[in-house]
Amino acid sequence: LFETLSKELEGSNKKFVIRDGKPTEVTDADIVVGDVMQFNAHMLASIPADGIFISGDNVKIDESALTGEPEPMEKTREAPYILSGTEVKSGSGTMLVVAVGKLSTSGKIKAKVYGGEVEDEQSPLFKKLDTMAMQIGKLGGVVAVICFVINCIVGFGMGTVEKGGEFAAVVEYCMTAITVLVVAIPEGLPLAVTLALAFSSFKMMDQMNLVKHLDAC
């Protein structure tokens, strides 16, 4: 019953858009990026997609559901951004649709709240860790090359390598450089960070703070 009512409601929510230069009536689910959508404070008050204000008269939109702002926000060309999930309180106008569905503001919020599939986005902490690991790896590569060059200079330039053993010496120098590179790569860093975040989550739990994601600690 609930699914049936939801489908009937979705089918009744229609908007007038200009697509390919022609006025068209479509449902909220059929609106696509690039449509010029009409809205007003009466029959077309709900905003189903993100867009940019094009023209209108005394347009004020209630964004309290998203931003918590109690007063309706006036939309002009100086403040053109219109977010999905908001409601037109006064005026009428047109907007250029720039994001729909899961890529819109309300779609991202719903996906986060209800566990929908969204693009995996790394937290700032793990982005910094990836950057640091990359820098350490590059530094290890440079040190490995330096060690190989120094060994070659010492071995061949100073004559410490016996005749006939040049190939074996080069192999040994390469193995030494590879060892330096392997040791420089921080393989245990993700595990150490995970353990530290888990410990932090237990500490926050003692303070009656529940943590849904470890990287939020």
Amino acid (1-letter code) at residue 152: C
Residue 2: pLDDT band by 50, 70, 90 thresholds? very low
How far apart are alpha carbons 193 and 131 in whole angstroms? 14
CB-facing half-sphere around the CA of 34: CA atoms within 13 A? 5
Note the pLDDT of residue 67. 81
Statement: residue 20 has pLDDT above 80: yes
Buried b (16+ CB within 10 A) or exposed e, 111-135: beeeeeeeeeeeeeeeeebeeeeee
pLDDT at 1: 39
Give 152's pLDDT tier (boundaries 50, 70, 90).
confident
**In the predicted model, is pLDDT for residue 4 greater than 70?**
no
pLDDT > 90? residue 60:
yes
Strands 22-27 and 73-74: unpaired
For 48, the token pair is: 């189903």
In the chain, % of residues over pLDDT 90: 20
Q: In this model, does residue 13 exceed pLDDT 80?
A: no
- Here the tokens at position 11 are 């089918």
Output the average pLDDT for the chain. 81
Average pLDDT over residues 59-68: 88
Enclosing H/E stretch for 74: strand 73-74
- Summarised one tens digit per residue, pLDDT across range 163-197 is 777 788 888 888 888 888 888 777 777 777 778 77
